Amino acid sequence: MKRLFAVFAALLFLLFSLTSLAEDDFDDFDDFDDFDSEEEMDWDDGEDLEEMSEDEFSNAKEAMNKASGNHQDFLKDGDYYYDLLPEDETSCKLIRYDGIDWDVVVPDSVAGLKTTVLDCTFSNNAMVETVELPESVMIIDNMTFWMCSGLTKVVIPEGVTTLGRCAFGGCGALENLVLPESLETVGEMVFIACNSFTEISFGKNLKSIGSNAFTGCEKLEKIIVPRGTEIAEDAFEQCPMMSEVVYYDPVE
């Protein structure tokens, strides 16, 4: 009963989150201190999921997929729903991962189309633990790993230039993230509530860090960025341990 409650609580939270994003309700963080996904939902360690029968697991996954939006209106190949990129008929963006693996290696092509963009792909997936991205990926867009509570590692290749809104939001188990030198833009709320980070370093091509990028990163103490990087004034809201921004010369 506990595991079923945890799953349904997660689904309800997902529906609320997606609705809030659609209405741009993330502009106000007055109630952020009251948000504790691990305590309220009790699904961060994956123990309940591991105890599920095969039928329960399948039903929970199907319910999660349905709750995540209208991705089923898109094309599907294997474990992925995808959409064509109109500006490039040879590439696609992955809308949703539909598999059941804990450790995921994202393919460099789907249905013969090069994988260049991820968009909500793993959003609210409580099962996935590690993800390895192909060298073809250029953009990790909005909510790609939103609320992936069990996610501990993501391998991001060189060539990725953009992290979109809430890309890693709520990934509380993600401690170390190696970012590529190619990264140029960190969008709004990219690392919101990633409360296991203590330090994060950015490559020489970084140009900007968006609003509330690190809000709620309770253990974050230091970030390292190239000189000239534009950092939003509210990038470090509710980061009580944050004490240092280290700038370095990107030429060196």
Overall pTM > 0.95: no
pLDDT at 99: 95
pLDDT at 71: 58
Q: What is the CATH number of the domain that holds 163?
A: 3.80.10.10
For residue 76 the two structure tokens come to 């599907």
Q: Has residue 201 been placed in a domain?
A: yes
Q: Has residue 110 been placed in a domain?
A: yes
Q: Has residue 196 been placed in a domain?
A: yes
Q: Find the domain containing 101 and state its range.
A: 73-248
Across 30-51, average pLDDT: 43
* Listed range (61-75, 85-99, 131-145) with the worst mean pLDDT: 61-75
For residue 182 the two structure tokens come to 């190619």
Q: Could you tell me the end-to-end alpha-carbon distance of the chain, in angstroms, rounded to an integer?
A: 57
- Count: domains in the chain: 1
Q: Has residue 143 been placed in a domain?
A: yes
DSSP reduced 3-state for 139: strand
Q: Which residues of 34-66 are buried (b: 16+ CB within 10 A; e: fewer)?
A: eeebeeebbbbebebbeebeeeebeebbeebbe
Q: What is the C-alpha to C-alpha distance for residues 73 and 95, in angstroms, rounded to an integer? A: 10
* Listed range (81-90, 139-148, 149-158) with the worst mean pLDDT: 81-90
The 10s digit of each residue's pLDDT in 169-200 is 999 999 878 999 999 999 999 999 999 989 99
Q: Has residue 37 been placed in a domain?
A: no
